[in-house]
Every structure is written in structure tokens, then in C-alpha cells.
């Protein structure tokens, strides 16, 4: 199983491709899969229109 630190690092690397165009958005969620087939749903939040901050993740069933 992948550790949370690794999931966070991957999610933060992918984050720029998922940032919403709506500048008023405060929450962001997206899914990704790590080969050979571990999938995760990750959560970010933004406060005071600053950068997106890691909130957490949950494993997804394949």
C-alpha cells in the first residue's frame, strides 16, 4: 500500500491540471490511479483565495 506522503506528493504534482477556472471555488476533489491499480480520491481546500491546501484522501475501489 502506498503511504499518505506518497499519495500527497502525487496529488500535488497533478493538482495544476485540476484547478478550477472558477476563482470562487473553495474545495477541489479529483481521482487518480497508481499502477498497477490503486485508485485514490483526494481533497484540497483553499482559504482566503490563497493556494490549495491538502485536506486528505480516501482509497477508491477498483
pLDDT of residue 47: 86
Q: 62 pLDDT exceeds 80?
A: no
The answer to whether 7 and 41 are in contact (CB under 8 A) is: no
Q: What is the pLDDT of residues 3-58, one digit of tens each?
A: 999 999 999 999 999 999 998 999 999 999 999 999 999 999 998 888 999 999 99
In angstroms, the CA 55 to CA 28 distance is: 10
Closest by Cα among 39, 32, 7 to 18 = 32
Q: Is the dihedral of CA 5, 7, 16, 21 positive or negative?
A: negative
Q: 1 pLDDT exceeds 80?
A: no
pLDDT of residue 31: 97
Whole-structure pTM value? 0.90
Where are the alpha helices (H) located in 18-61, listed in sequence order? none
In angstroms, the CA 58 to CA 40 distance is: 6
Amino acid at each position: 500500500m502506498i503511504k499518505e506522503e506518497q499519495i500527497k506528493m502525487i496529488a500535488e504534482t497533478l493538482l495544476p491540471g485540476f484547478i478550477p477556472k472558477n476563482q470562487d471555488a473553495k474545495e477541489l476533489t479529483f481521482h487518480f490511479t497508481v499502477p498497477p491499480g490503486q485508485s485514490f480520491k483526494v481533497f484540497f481546500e483553499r482559504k482566503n483565495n490563497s493556494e490549495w491546501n491538502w485536506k486528505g484522501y480516501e482509497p477508491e475501489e477498483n
